[in-house]
């Protein structure tokens, strides 16, 4: 069972509801499966997802046996929960005529975790992991590089398994806020990505990035193979030759822990721009 943040607990355990049009999966259209945030049991398939305009993810069917229904405490609606762990998902409605199945599972995004279908990913992909201050801004700017397939915010480099945001911010776990980049090497090289990383944050700052201060905001490249290590070190040498006092560390990647759902796609959902990351040409 996954440990929950206070907001996740408010919805999943205490049967709360997130505000409409704020969830990360409301307008999500990738092909894959939606799992329970608490226990990771598969609940819904993307093929059964539709746009109801209600402000929450809507599905007209569930994976067989994955969801249980109960009369809601208000005596009018029907609550739906994960059959495996009992975590609150939302409510189900019938007779609205949205689809031929005439059913709408109205689900809180915060109750879900999405797993992309492998078939939608090119046969050959590579992974890059970068830490350069608040992961919101790094994620936002690296997503715009052609050839990048996905960018996920998370935690790496610490000692606590599956840390929460609050634990990382307590400076007791040793983790850095980082992003995991899945890219198509036929379209973009690791060196291009690494250069962009060095140009969207300030590699001279130590344990901070702009107004954000703490070891979780350190500048660090987590390499997944020796070639990535060589590229990162080469780029650092180039920057030092240009006069930059580079503080970026180069470390072998360890376990990457996915951050809470509310950290993913942060600026896309907010409709704003990063406050401490911007592009500066350095190469």
Tell me how far apart the 2 most distant CA atoms of the chain are, in Å: 70
Residues in the chain: 283
What's the whole-number average pLDDT of the chain?
93
Distances (CA, A) of 139 to 37, 62, 117, 183, 199: 21, 31, 21, 13, 13
pLDDT for 3 equals 82
pLDDT for 83 equals 93
Q: How far is the C-alpha of 90 from the C-alpha of 85, rounded, in Å?
A: 14
pLDDT for 117 equals 80
Q: What is the pLDDT of residues 217-264, one digit of tens each?
A: 999 999 999 999 999 999 999 999 999 999 999 999 999 999 998 899
Q: How far is the C-alpha of 251 from the C-alpha of 172, rounded, in Å?
A: 19
Is 206:247 a contact under the CB 8 Å cutoff? yes
Is 82 among the catalytic positions?
Answer: no
Q: How far is the C-alpha of 56 from the C-alpha of 106, rounded, in Å?
A: 6
Q: What is the pLDDT of residues 111-139, one digit of tens each?
A: 999 998 865 555 589 999 999 999 999 99
Nearest residue to 192 via CA among 229, 232, 160, 248: 232
pLDDT, average across residues 94-102: 94
Q: What is the pLDDT of residues 36-50, one digit of tens each?
A: 999 999 999 999 999
pLDDT for 122 equals 57
pLDDT for 123 equals 59
Check whether 190 has a pLDDT greater than 90: yes
Check whether 150 has a pLDDT greater than 60: yes
Q: How far is the C-alpha of 95 from the C-alpha of 101, rounded, in Å?
A: 9
pLDDT, average across residues 273-280: 91
Tokens of 207: 């344990």
Q: What is the pLDDT of residues 64-78, one digit of tens each?
A: 999 999 998 878 899
Candidate list 36, 39, 54, 134, residue with the active-site label: 134
Q: Is 97 left (phi over 0), alpha (psi -120 to 50) or beta?
A: left
pLDDT for 271 equals 85
- The sign one gets for the Cα dihedral 59, 61, 67, 68 is positive
H or E element that contains 137: helix 135-142
CB atoms within 10 A of CB 42: 17
Q: How far is the C-alpha of 125 from the C-alpha of 167, rounded, in Å?
A: 32
Is 251:222 a contact under the CB 8 Å cutoff? yes
Candidate list 85, 106, 169, 276, residue with the active-site label: 106
Is 39 among the catalytic positions?
Answer: no
Tokens of 67: 């969801």
Check whether 1 has a pLDDT greater than 80: no
């Amino acid at each position: 069972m996954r440990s929950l943040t206070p907001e996740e607990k408010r919805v999943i355990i205490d049967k709360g509801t997130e505000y409409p049009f704020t969830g990360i999966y409301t307008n999500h259209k990738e092909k894959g499966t939606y799992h329970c945030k608490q226990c990771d049991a598969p609940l819904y398939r993307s093929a059964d997802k539709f746009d109801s305009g209600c402000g929450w993810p809507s599905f007209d069917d569930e994976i067989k046996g994955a969801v249980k229904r109960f009369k809601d405490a208000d005596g009018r609606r029907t609550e739906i929960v994960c059959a495996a762990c009992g975590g609150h998902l939302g409510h189900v409605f019938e007779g609205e005529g949205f689809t031929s199945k005439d059913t709408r599972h109205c689900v809180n995004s915060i109750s879900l975790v999405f797993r992309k279908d492998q078939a939608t990913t090119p046969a050959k992909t590579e992974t890059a992991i970068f830490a350069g201050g608040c992961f919101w801004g790094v994620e936002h700017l690296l997503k715009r590089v052609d050839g990048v397939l996905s960018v996920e915010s998370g935690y790496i480099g610490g000692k606590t398994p599956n840390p929460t945001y609050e634990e990382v911010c307590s400076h007791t776990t040793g983790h850095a806020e980082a992003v995991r980049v899945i890219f198509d090497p036929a379209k973009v090289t690791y060196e291009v990505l690494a250069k962009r990383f060095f140009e969207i944050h300030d590699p001279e700052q130590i344990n901070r990035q702009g107004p954000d201060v703490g070891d979780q905001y350190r500048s660090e490249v987590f390499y997944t193979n020796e070639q990535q290590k060589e590229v990162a070190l080469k780029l650092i040498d180039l920057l030092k030759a240009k006069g930059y006092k580079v503080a970026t560390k180069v470390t072998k990647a360890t376990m990457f822990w996915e951050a809470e759902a509310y950290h993913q796609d942060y600026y896309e959902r907010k409709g704003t721009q990063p406050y401490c990351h911007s592009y500066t040409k350095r190469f």
